[in-house]
Structure 1
Amino acid sequence: MESPKERWIGRDAGPIVRPYAVTRGRVRPRGLAIDLITILVATGRGPDGRVRLTREQRTLLELCRRPSTPADLASETDLPFRVVQILLEDLHQYGLIEELPQAVQDEQDGRPDPRILMRLLDELRRL
């Protein structure tokens, strides 16, 4: 019979942690609309004494030192996209990351620029 410790270690995956444990039980973001192509960047402020960041949040914050999209962050951290969304929302509420404005809209008619949409499609296919 396997010991409890052995059950939580996947042979190829390493330690197994359920997504809801990483998000403290939350399964949906609360407010901020973070989609696949939202560009986020760290503000450079450190967390105040009242905020304790999880290891995953610290990793995301470090990756956000350069402008990044949640799709890229999910890929780099091997976390599910929904988990990344929730953790990024927390970092945004703490004032540690901010959303950069995007030049996605065509100035003439307000519709998305087809070049950016094609680039997004290419990136999604790579995932």
Structure 2
Amino acid sequence: MWAEFPARQHEWLDADAGPVVRPYTLTGGRVRPTVGLDLVAFVLAARGADPSAHPQLHPEHRRLVELTRRPVPVAELAVELDLAVCVVRVLVGDLLARGLVTVHQRQAGAAFLPDDNILKAVVNGLRAL
């Protein structure tokens, strides 16, 4: 949508979605985090983490450290910052590399797996419908 001159809007800006270019600039063009992060991985600020000691960090990095004073899942951080999950994963990876946060992920195989007999009973019940 174009506005009248002199307040002409760029075509890559949208009133509802905001600037499209911004997440790309926040991550420096990176689209993958340095570490694999699950959506339900909990991020916790390191004890004594001081983002002001790292002047190259973006305001979003600093906000992430503040939000993670208590354990917070990656998905919730994305909602709080109103950023795409992939962007938050990259930013958390940056903070992890600087030792400002720790990440706690569930272990593989730690999920509850039902007994085979229960699964067979469910399949048989569905077939009976």
Find the aligned partners of 2:7 and 2:21 in 1 and give their Cα distance.
14
Match of 2:39 among 36, 39, 64: 36
The alpha-carbon deviation at position 80 of structure 1 amounts to: 0.5
Structure 2 CA distance for aligned equivalents of residues 64 and 71 of structure 1: 12
Q: 1:5 to 1:89 in 2, by over 3 A?
A: farther
Q: 1:49 to 1:77 in 2, by over 3 A?
A: closer
* TM-score of the superposed pair, with normalisation by structure 1: 0.69
- Looking at structure 1, the residues matched to 52 and 79 of structure 2 have their Cα atoms a distance apart, in angstroms, of 28
Given that 1:47 and 1:94 are in contact with CA atoms closer than 8 Å, whether structure 2 keeps it comes out as: no
Q: Counterparts of 1:28 and 1:94 in 2: how far apart (Å)? A: 17
Match runs of 1:1-127 below 5 Å: 6-7=9-10, 9-30=13-34, 32-43=35-46, 44-47=48-51, 49=53, 51-100=55-104, 102=106, 110-113=109-112
Give CA deviations for 1:76-106 in whole Å, capped at 9, x if unaligned: 111000000000000001000002365x67x
CA RMSD of aligned residues (A): 2.6
How many pairs does the alignment contain?
108
Residues 18 and 50 of structure 1, relative CA distance in 2, 3 Å threshold? closer
TM-score (normalizing by structure 2): 0.68
Partner of 2:121: none
Equivalent residue letter for 1:54: H
Tell me how far apart the structure 1 counterparts of residues 77 and 29 of structure 2 sit (CA, whole Å): 21
What code does the residue aligned with 1:90 have? D
